[in-house]
Amino acid sequence: MRARPTRRTALTAGALAATSPLLPAYAAEADPAARPGTPTDDPWSRVPAILARIRPPRFPQHRYDIRDFGAVGDGVTKNTAAIRRAIEACHRAGGGHVVVPAGGRFLTGAIRLRSRVNLRVDGTVLFSTDPADYLPMVLTRWEGTECWNYSPFVYAHGERDLAVTGHGTLDGQGMDGPWKSWRDPGGGQPADQAELRRMGEQGVPVEQRLFGAGHFLRPNMVQFYRCRNVLIQDVTVLEPAMWTLHPVLCTNVLIKDVDVIGRINNSDGVDPECCADVLITGCRFHTEDDSVAVKSGRDEDGHRVGVPSRNIVVRDCVFSGRWGGIAVGSEMSGGAYDIFAEDCRINPLDFPGRHNPRHPVFLKTNTKRGGAIDGVYVRDFTGRQIDRDCVYLTTRYSGQTGPYPAVIRDVRVEHMVHDGARRALHLEGLASDPFGPVRVAHCDFTGMSEPNLIEAAPELRLHKVYVNGSEVHV
């Protein structure tokens, strides 16, 4: 294994020091090395420039204890209005820290954050299980399609310099509310899901895609929509109703040292969607779906918005999620470029999942999605005991077909060590859309029960890849 800086030394003073209050939106076209499809000898050489742009927001030192605005931390009193008053007071005064104090359990409905506000969680924020507490509806994105729906539990739209920090807990009570029943057979979510997808495919104006009261699309836990300069640090996030941390159309996002634990279906850990310049580092994921899933919109609606995800770095994380560790897709119709993941552990003994994960690396698309996955770079992953394949690339996801090319190209996996899986490599391509260059090098896979399965990958290159002690070749 190469000698190189640790996470903390690599996050230089320029990347994490106190910085200017606002950053301009990053234009990838200004940097030729960041343009999709631009070859470089070492794609990792682009990472320092990405990290230099990811700078956490700064906040004035003013503190606004939510108890001073009427909040009661007894786990019973509903504090939605008190928390809103504290956030508005902080915002009007130019910013600061809205404090959820240690020792209390503060029940609330939807929390809407504003610019220059750090929600400092030292106690427990306990989210209501009553869907009415997440009304009125807000503009959101639900599984890659824009609509108006219940508010995410923590939400912001069009804000700058905002954060959720502290060593406390956001508890979504996802298994205690009605949310699971909505998705279960006989619940209302499948019908609403199909209707929203129809609206997206047929180009129904977003202002007419009205869900919320009387409907059954589960809200996300934390969603920042069209925001800049976002920090989520140190908190534990428990039991979402659905996706957990979901920045959408955001720039300059740092998610650091966060634990995400969820038992409900589709409880992804972090889903950066149509985002640029994102660092996810030091986090632990114990979820019932992908741990980190890079997304960029779904089908026709994703093409309409037309914004890719790019320049995303994942480091020093632990993946015990049910499906993918680092995943891209399946909602990726806007494209995904330059995704870097390194030094992550899969299903380790000190943080095992309730169920074995399935794929440390999971790239998924189909000809209905379109878009392109172009530039995914993974190195120094270690893992044990997963149910399926260590590296799974598919352009046949869910068996869906459509009129678009299914593009996965420039994928590199290096220095992966894994023990216990079905296969080391499963590349499931299409003859009409073969994979572009895929390189796997310096990897050691043991305890594999089946041989590699390679389909439509003419540009696969293997170098010093060992499966069950024997070097394998294309």
| pLDDT, position 268 | 97
Tell me the one-letter amino acid at 131.
P
309, two tokens: 């995800």
Report the alpha-carbon distance of residue 104 to residue 124 in Å, rounded. Answer: 6
Residue 226 burial (10 A CB sphere; 0-12, 13-18, 19+):
middle
- Using an 8 Å Cβ cutoff, are 321 and 284 in contact? no
Q: What is the pLDDT, as a whole number, of residue 152?
A: 98
Nearest-Å Rg of the Cα atoms of the chain is 22
CATH number of the structural domain 63-472 = 2.160.20.10
What is d(CA 411, CA 393) in angstroms, rounded to the nearest whole number? 10
Helix (H, G, I), strand (E, B) or coil at 141: strand
Task: Confirm if 287 and 262 have CB atoms less than 8 A apart.
Answer: yes
φ/ψ of 196, rounded to 5, equals -65, -40
Check residue 366 and give its pLDDT.
Answer: 97
CA 310 to chain centre: 13
Element (H, E) at 284: strand 284-286
> In angstroms, rounded to a whole number, what is the distance separating the alpha carbons of residues 75 and 432?
57
Please, what is the Cα angle at 341 between 335 and 344, to 5 degrees?
145
Would you list the DSSP string of 63-91?
A: EEEGGGGT---EEEEE-HHHHHHHHHHHH
pLDDT the model gives residue 41 = 80
Structure tokens at 443: 């990897």
* Closest to 151 measured CA to CA, from 91, 101, 221, 66: 221
Q: Which residues of the chain have pLDDT under 50?
A: 1-39
Q: What is the pTM of this model?
A: 0.92
pLDDT of residue 28: 36
pLDDT in tens, 410-439: 999 999 999 999 999 999 999 999 999 999
Task: Please state, in angstroms and as integers, the Cα–Cα distance from residue 196 to each residue in 147, 204, 211, 215, 264, following that order.
Answer: 8, 9, 9, 11, 22
- Rounded Cα distance, 224 and 182, in Å: 24
The pLDDT of residue 193: 98
Q: Measured between alpha carbons, how far is 420 from 223 in angstroms, rounded to an integer?
A: 35
